Amino acid sequence: MEAHLFPRESGQFIAERSRDVFVEDAGVQKVAEMLYALRHSDDLTASGWKKANPLAPAPTSDQGSLSALNWVFVVDTMNFSFWPEKETEQCEVTYKGTTYTGYMTLCAAITRAMEEGIPITDPKYFSRISVEELGHVLRSDNETPMPMLQERHQVLTEGGRVLLEHGGSFRSFISQAGNDARKMVELIVQKIPSYKDEATYEGKRISFYKRAQILVADFWGIMEARGHGDIINMDWLTMFADYRVPQALVYLEALRYSDTLMQTLKNGELLCSGDRREVEIRGCSIWSVELIKDRLCKLVQERDGQTCDVNSAIIDFYLWPYAKQHHKEMARIPIHHTRCIYY
């Protein structure tokens, strides 16, 4: 079996051959300039992580840190496919007076369960949770349930069993990879099947590893908040190829869809996981962010005479909330619809 390409190399391989998605140089430059203007703000640091995850437990103590790490494991293991069948029928979870939709419904549901005394972040519990119990934890506050309950149950219990085999917590599991981000991603995809986000494109095995990379970036975000963020190889991580950030990249003109693809998406056509067009959207998103990062670092070097420590994960932590904040302006650009456990 031929070895697969890692996400960065996959992105480049796909972008060089893509037929329906194109990386636009002028847009890459524009986004790099936009990020350059923000280079001194908290938006482009690991503390941007906390902004993107306001419902995560505060990792202020050792115990809090352990709890926060298990929380991100539970959330990231089920972090996929929140788009509604109809835009008017969104799953909603209200927590402490705020109503959340999308990915944030999952965060709110897990934090709500913890407050209700359900040990949802304890692997001993969630490795054996029943579908009914998980349905209660993830219950919606309106008529629309969270999609894919059976799949979320399957991946969560599977993940819990893996943690129990490796010391009983996400911290003990991930420590086997030392402090190396690349080794962490490799460990996660090797040991936990639901994180093995791979496909075939033009006869080549490629990978995106969206959730595995987010899990490592979230781990880094928590450790950074504790002052222990000395993780090497963070620059190996790419952006997290989902359905929201590509929309932002098209809006910012760093990506362009062919007229045919744009029409297909506007028609609401479902793309299967592994479909050539779906792979091109995800792969070109990865490569465009790599080029944005390189261009940003060049600007910082040329104009400020400094080295740039912004990695692709930080750019993703900025672009994802950006997409949420500008969703009204972006409404003319369709997201692609793929029901799967990878994103």
CA distance 286 to 312: 9
* 242 carries an active-site annotation: yes
Q: Which residues contact 44 (CB under 8 A, 6 or more apart)?
A: 35, 38, 310, 314, 315, 318
For 88, phi and psi rounded to 5 degrees? Answer: -80, -10
Are the CB atoms for 56 and 47 separated by under 8 Å?
A: no
| Neighbour-count burial of 21, counting CB atoms closer than 10 A to its CB (0-12 exposed, 13-18 middle, 19+ buried) | buried
Q: Nearest Cα to 311, choosing from 235, 249, 213? A: 235
Both tokens assigned to 76? 């990231």
Are the CB atoms for 295 and 288 separated by under 8 Å?
A: no
Which H or E element spans position 81?
Answer: none
Q: What is the dihedral of CA 204, 210, 216, 219, to 10 degrees?
A: 180
Burial 242-260 (b: 16+ CB within 10 A, else e): bbbbbbbbbbbebbbbeee
Angle at 232 between CA 205 and CA 229, to 5 degrees: 125
CA distance 63 to 122: 13
Which one-letter DSSP state was computed for residue 238? -
CA distance 45 to 314: 6
SS3 (DSSP) at 271: coil
Q: Which of 76, 197, 218, 242 is catalytic?
A: 242
Q: Which residues are catalytic?
A: 242
